[in-house]
Amino acid sequence: MEKYYEKELLEELHDIQETYGFISEEDILRISQKRDIPKAQLYGVISFYSMFHLEPTGKYIVRVCDSVSCRLNESTTLVKALKDYLKVEENETTKDKKFTLEVVECLGHCDEGPVMMVNDTYYTHLTVTKAIQILDSLE
Amino acid sequence: MERIFLKKDLGKNLEEYDFLGLKNALKMQPQQVINKIKESGLRGRGGAGFPTGIKWETVFSIENDTKFIICNADEGEPGTFKDRFLMENLPFKVLEGIIISGYATGSKYGYIYIRGEYVEAIKIVKKAIEKLYEKNILGENILNSDFLFDLKLVRGAGAYVCGDETSLINSIEGDRGKSRIKPPLPVFEGLYGKPTVVNNVETLAAAAEIMSYDNNPYSQMGTEKSRGTKLVSISGDVNKPGVYEVEFGKLTVKDIVQEVAGGVKGEKIGFVIPGGISTEALTEDELNVPYTYENLQKMGSNIGSGGMIVVSSQRNHLEIVKNVSDFFRDETCGTCFPCREGNKNINKIVSDIYKRGYPTSHEIEIISDIQYAVSSAARCGFGESSLNLILSIFEKFYTKKVEV
């Protein structure tokens, strides 16, 4: 039975990403050998999930929700303002490697939109000014 | 949240939580627990509405040394946030439900699969699991009985389709979250090929609550086919968005919008999406329908996940359609050709319609044909329901106005 209870692949990938910020080629090679999974399959798995990164990201990952309920709370304006402020498009990292901007599907705070997550922190009921203030305050 | 059925719960504090549901269950035979759940009339609260007791009984009746319980906490349906509410505010209730389902089905191993974006819920549930191990409510000889049950948390990583039970199973196994062909159903061959119950967070919390009563008050609430209560998460153009527990059949959809959620923001209601963006829209004229599985089905829609989104009449309906179509184009797992290509092609048509400002009758016809193909050929609920809302909005709002 123990084999079912070794660390699940997704959990291992999360742990690597939490430590290093992304999942490197070396990590993939190591997991491939340890778990006896072809590298191509691992790439397939990692790239399937939007939260995993194969390249380094910014110090802060900014996830802005643009699904229906947030859209009804003017998330489009927020997304545009953040793109302008950070001078990046979706899934891009700022030149100083500080921020990566992601426009994501529902974050499950539909009653408090518009919503963004910066790394592990949620910010709700946002205005453009408030959102920019939050990003400004991060070192 | 207004509490009706879940009112006894005392929240996050383990010292104040009595685990009465689990204690009662452990005094009974597994079949008696299953009978009690069957009598309660509880149906799956994730969207499909399958009778919970029957699912448990099927797994219980299969002889296998290894069986699994999976709590599906991959709540990604836009407009739905009640499972997050439950995990953050009533984590012990949810975990208690998982342990009870393990006991009732003869499973020793459980998983709770929480979507990666729910960092707060993950933290709280992880801590709650640790505490339960400390208190001998997980592990060996639970509450001094001979019942053994282990529970692990697995984080999802950003894929809406993993809310489908077979995709979720593949995801726990370390694969892409692609759906599996059914049959075999997960109750026969699920996680690692073993009999597996997959239940939604709310279903398991309700099961724990049902077991905590000596009698069966749950079955006294609601209607024959929709027993008990439902957590409805309301968002969009309403004055009091949030999570509310409503008794089935007592209120109409309109009552829920007007009385529970404080009424519409804006001139009047344009339409209501009753159960997340996989369910058909209801126009203002269609809202005087009692909130039950059977009544919403009669209206051609569904309770779904209970994620109600209210859209005011002043909104551009086509913007909503475009947003929903973008979502389904991006989130299909791509395994089934009709779902992958259908959602992509509909998105192109919808983009044209959005730019132009209205659909042609020919476009609606094509969308209807593609919807038929996708919903009938898809393996999982994603494809079956991905075009419901889009088509319903075109049919209800645009068929009379379009050019021929």
B215 and B229 within one domain? no
B254 and B236 within one domain? yes
Q: What is the pLDDT of residues B68-103, one digit of tens each?
A: 999 999 999 999 999 999 999 899 999 999 999 999
B153 and B98 within one domain? yes
Selection from A94, A106, A49, A45 nearest residue B324 by Cα: A106
Candidates A37, A49, A71; nearest CB to B323: A71
B56: CATH: 3.40.50.11540
Task: Indicate the SS3 state at residue A15.
Answer: helix
B226 and B215 within one domain? no
Inter-chain touch B81–A35, beta carbons under 8 Å: no
List, in sequence order, the alpha helices (H) in chain A.
9-20, 25-35, 39-48, 68-71, 75-86, 128-137
The tokens for B263 are 């009424």
B351 and B379 within one domain? yes
Inter-chain touch A45–B176, beta carbons under 8 Å: yes
Looking at chain B, which residue has its C-alpha nearest residue A46?
B176
Instruction: Tell whether B29 is covered by a domain.
Output: yes
The ipTM assigned to this model is: 0.95
Q: What is the pLDDT of residues B191-242, one digit of tens each?
A: 999 999 999 999 999 999 999 998 888 888 999 999 999 999 999 999 999 9
Inter-chain touch B152–A45, beta carbons under 8 Å: no
B204 and B305 within one domain? no
Instruction: Tell whether B152 is covered by a domain.
Output: yes
Instruction: Tell whether B5 is covered by a domain.
Output: no
* Last residue in a domain, options B220, B251, B271: B220
Residue B113: count of CB within 10 angstroms of its CB: 24
Domain total of chain B: 3
* A131 vs A120: CA distance, rounded Å: 15
Inter-chain touch A66–B243, beta carbons under 8 Å: no
Domain ranges, residue B393: 317-398
B302 and B347 within one domain? no
Collect all residues of chain B within an 8 Å Cβ-Cβ radius of residue A35.
174
For the question of whether the overall pTM of this predicted structure is more than 0.80, the answer is: yes
* B100 vs B138: CA distance, rounded Å: 11
In this predicted structure, the answer to whether residue A25 has a pLDDT above a threshold of 50 is yes
Which residues of chain B register pLDDT less than 70?
Answer: 1-12, 400-404
Instruction: Tell whether B337 is covered by a domain.
Output: yes
B331: CATH: 1.20.1440.230
